[in-house]
């Protein structure tokens, strides 16, 4: 047998003890989605013809450590490494020799999502181990979960390290203050950061890294999708070598989709001239500059605003967004009404207003001036709902909506 496919076998917990001896000719082992697998077969490093091993789980038993990867020099495509917290020796991390596995294009590192409360000694050990898990510089997709150290390894500070990286995902780095130096990467298209409690800025030492302090300075030159979630200390996008924020002088030139969720200290969003989809949730929308409408590009097509308790008004000139096709406002309990300028939303097809009890009416004549509207959802806005029901003053204005089955005054989908 040369190929073993066990993808999504949720019941698989371990392999037979004699598997390596019995299957010496294995070349491909596919273990995608085997989330309950506890450890690898002992001495898997003896299968030195392996070209595919999608999942490797570090264990403390003899023959099950990270050093088993040493002679698997032909590994290619994707490799997922789990339970890295069980690597107790820096030498074992060195022996894995990831840097020499030049055929790998995707890597996942997971230290173990069940533990965020490392002791200082454990965190320092993780930092030293991480330093010796350096891959080659042609990695295209990198996913990192549950690292407990306070600093990133030195190789992640090397700008040349990420010249081919297209996708970076970092979850549950609760102590780390930095992300890898990817803000000038010529290839990064996707960035997702989640639960990084100490992170204050995406880019630091920008003048030094960027080779100057010219303004405006383009960062993340190829980034199209950015998701920032549960980053309670994040204050801005960039800082110079003195640690001073320079958010007003940076631009994300090709960013199309931006989601900011529970980042309460963010006071502005980045200049993004081609932004199409903006989703803001749990942010401090009391800060005026966040709603400086010239900073919202006219390219915007989707706007979500959710769970923003301090928001009392939408921009009066929201109607300048002529390409906007979807506007969703949810759980903004301090919001007092909709702006008159919305009649300029001639491309608006979907309007959702949910759990905003302070919104009691539409601006005068608005429903007659939204020619593209074919979906309207109102829920949790008692007075506005009353006016939309049969017998209410808006009921007849709602009749022309093409898809009446999708007009609702009940719970949103």
The confidence score (pLDDT) of residue 413 equals 44
Per-residue pLDDT, averaged over 249-264, amounts to 90
Q: Which of 31-40, 283-292, 370-379, 397-406 has the lowest mean pLDDT?
A: 283-292
Domain boundaries, the chain: 276-413
- C-alpha distance across the termini of the chain, in Å: 49
Per-residue pLDDT, averaged over 91-103, amounts to 96
User: Residue 122 pLDDT more than 60?
Assistant: no
Per-residue pLDDT, averaged over 51-80, amounts to 96
The confidence score (pLDDT) of residue 283 equals 77
pLDDT over 90, % of the chain: 64
User: Residue 216 pLDDT more than 80?
Assistant: no
Report whether 30 contacts 55 (CB < 8 A): no
276-413 CATH: 3.80.10
User: Residue 215 pLDDT more than 60?
Assistant: no
Per-residue pLDDT, averaged over 4-26, amounts to 90
The confidence score (pLDDT) of residue 93 equals 96
Report whether 31 contacts 47 (CB < 8 A): no
**How would residue 390 be classed by pLDDT, with cut points 50, 70 and 90?**
confident
Report whether 105 contacts 138 (CB < 8 A): yes
pLDDT over 70, % of the chain: 86
Sign, CA torsion 197/202/208/213: negative
Angle at 167 between CA 166 and CA 168, to 5 degrees: 130
Q: What does the alpha-carbon distance between residue 406 and residue 230 come to, in Å, rounded to a whole number?
A: 33
Q: What does the alpha-carbon distance between residue 122 and residue 296 come to, in Å, rounded to a whole number?
A: 45
Sign, CA torsion 329/220/273/241: positive
Those residues with Cβ within 8 angstroms of residue 33's Cβ, 6 or more apart along the chain or in another chain: 7, 8, 9, 10
User: Residue 411 pLDDT more than 60?
Assistant: no
The confidence score (pLDDT) of residue 410 equals 45
User: Residue 319 pLDDT more than 70?
Assistant: yes
The confidence score (pLDDT) of residue 243 equals 61
The confidence score (pLDDT) of residue 248 equals 61
The confidence score (pLDDT) of residue 270 equals 77
The confidence score (pLDDT) of residue 407 equals 46
């Amino acid at each position: 047998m040369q190929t073993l496919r066990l993808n999504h076998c949720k019941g698989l917990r371990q392999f037979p003890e004699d598997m390596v001896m019995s299957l010496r000719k294995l070349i491909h082992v596919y273990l995608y989605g085997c989330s309950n697998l506890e450890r690898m077969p002992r001495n898997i490093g003896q299968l030195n013809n392996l070209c595919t091993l999608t999942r490797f789980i570090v264990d403390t038993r003899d023959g099950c450590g990270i050093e088993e990867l040493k002679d698997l020099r032909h590994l290619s495509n994707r490799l997922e490494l789990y339970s890295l917290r069980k690597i107790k020796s820096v030498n074992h991390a060195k022996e894995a020799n990831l840097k020499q596995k030049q055929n790998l294009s995707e890597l996942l590192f997971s230290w173990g999502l069940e533990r965020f409360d490392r002791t200082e000694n454990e965190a320092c050990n993780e930092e030293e181990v991480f330093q010796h898990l350096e891959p080659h510089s042609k990695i295209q997709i990198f996913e990192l979960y549950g690292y407990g150290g306070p600093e990133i390894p030195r190789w992640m500070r090397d700008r040349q390290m990420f010249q081919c990286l297209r996708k970076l995902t970092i979850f549950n780095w609760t102590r780390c203050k930095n992300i890898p130096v990817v803000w000038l990467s010529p290839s990064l298209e996707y960035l997702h950061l989640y639960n990084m409690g100490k992170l204050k800025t995406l880019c630091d030492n920008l003048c030094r890294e960027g080779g100057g302090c010219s303004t405006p300075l383009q960062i993340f030159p190829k980034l199209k999708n950015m998701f920032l979630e549960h980053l309670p200390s994040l204050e801005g996008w960039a800082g110079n070598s003195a640690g001073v924020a320079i958010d007003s002088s940076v631009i994300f030139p090709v960013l199309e989709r931006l989601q900011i969720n529970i980042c309460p200290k963010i006071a502005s969003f980045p200049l993004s001239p081609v932004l199409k989809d903006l989703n803001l949730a749990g942010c401090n929308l009391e800060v005026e500059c966040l709603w400086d409408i010239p900073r919202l590009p006219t390219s915007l097509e989707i706007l979500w605003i959710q769970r923003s308790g301090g928001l009392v008004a939408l921009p009066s000139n929201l109607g300048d967004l002529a390409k906007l096709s979807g506007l969703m406002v949810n759980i903004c309990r301090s919001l007092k009404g909709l702006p008159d300028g919305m009649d300029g939303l001639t491309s608006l097809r979907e309007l959702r207003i949910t759990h905003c009890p302070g919104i009691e009416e539409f601006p005068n004549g608005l429903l007659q001036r939204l020619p593209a509207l074919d979906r309207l959802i109102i829920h949790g806005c008692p007075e506005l709902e009353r006016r939309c029901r049969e017998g209410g003053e808006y009921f007849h204005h709602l009749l022309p909506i093409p898809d009446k089955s999708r007009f609702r005054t009940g719970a949103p989908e």
